[in-house]
């Protein structure tokens, strides 16, 4: 090979290495300097956190193990229903009495299910159809709380053959007192 060609290859290799090093340095700089820090004062808890001291039905059951909660980011909608979501929906609709309620909106329950499949530690969020917080009928909210908290609906979830506590949520869309949709 001639010296000119070797020099050309050598310069290409040096150029590529320099670009790689520059790229790694830029990535490192951006990773460190643009990584958002969490404001622990404003957001002291993780996604899915439920204040167990102030939640409804917090003294009926106990959390298992060290009280660790699984599936906190998205709940366990694919795994949690004892038979199926369809069966849950059918049961709720057949047992819901609708005592001439006229409310419309969303009734959201966030709750925990312990390792024995018992639901408790409920937080309730009530909203109108425009997603603004309101107060729905206390009787309707209590009726749906009782129906939703029934342990016959919830599975015992296991990981590595060990039963786990988990986070779950249910949202009811209600129009003129009638349940028209159950999410998730």
Contact 61/111 with Cβ under 8 angstroms?
no
The residue ranges of DSSP E strands in 104-156, in sequence order, are 105-113, 119-127
CA–CA dist 142, 163 (Å, integer)? 29
| Bridge partner residues of 119 (DSSP) | 113
Residue entry with tokens 């520059």:
22
CA–CA dist 148, 168 (Å, integer)? 11
Report how far apart, in Å, the C-alpha atoms of 49 and of each of 24, 85, 108, 139, 176 are: 37, 23, 15, 26, 31
More confident residue, 149 or 60: 149
Q: Quick: pLDDT tens for 51-69.
A: 666 767 777 778 887 767 7
CA–CA dist 92, 89 (Å, integer)? 5
CA–CA dist 103, 85 (Å, integer)? 24
Q: Quick: pLDDT tens for 66-111.
A: 767 777 666 666 777 888 889 999 999 999 998 889 999 999 998 8
Nearest to residue 109, comparing CAs of 44, 176, 175, 154?
A: 154
What are the structure tokens assigned to 143, written together? Answer: 């009726």
- pTM of model > 0.85: no
Contacts with 42 (C-beta within 8 Å, 6 or more apart), sequence order: none
């Amino acid at each position: 090979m001639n010296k000119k060609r070797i020099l050309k290859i050598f310069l290409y290799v040096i150029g590529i290495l320099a670009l790689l090093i520059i790229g790694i340095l830029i990535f490192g700089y951006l990773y460190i300097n643009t990584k958002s820090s969490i404001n622990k004062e404003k957001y002291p808890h993780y996604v899915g956190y439920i204040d167990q001291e102030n939640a409804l039905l917090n003294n009926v059951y106990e959390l298992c193990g060290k009280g660790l909660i699984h599936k906190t980011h998205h709940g366990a909608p694919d795994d949690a229903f004892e038979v199926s979501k369809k069966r849950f929906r059918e049961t709720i609709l057949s047992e819901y009495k609708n005592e001439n309620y006229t409310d419309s909106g969303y009734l959201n329950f966030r709750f925990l299910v312990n390792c024995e499949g018992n639901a408790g530690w409920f937080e309730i969020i009530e909203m109108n159809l425009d997603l603004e917080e309101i107060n729905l009928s206390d009787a309707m909210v209590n009726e749906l709380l009782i129906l939703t908290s029934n342990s016959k609906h919830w599975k015992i979830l296991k990981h590595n053959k060990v039963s786990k506590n988990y986070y779950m949520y249910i949202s009811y869309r209600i129009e003129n007192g009638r349940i028209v949709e159950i999410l998730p």
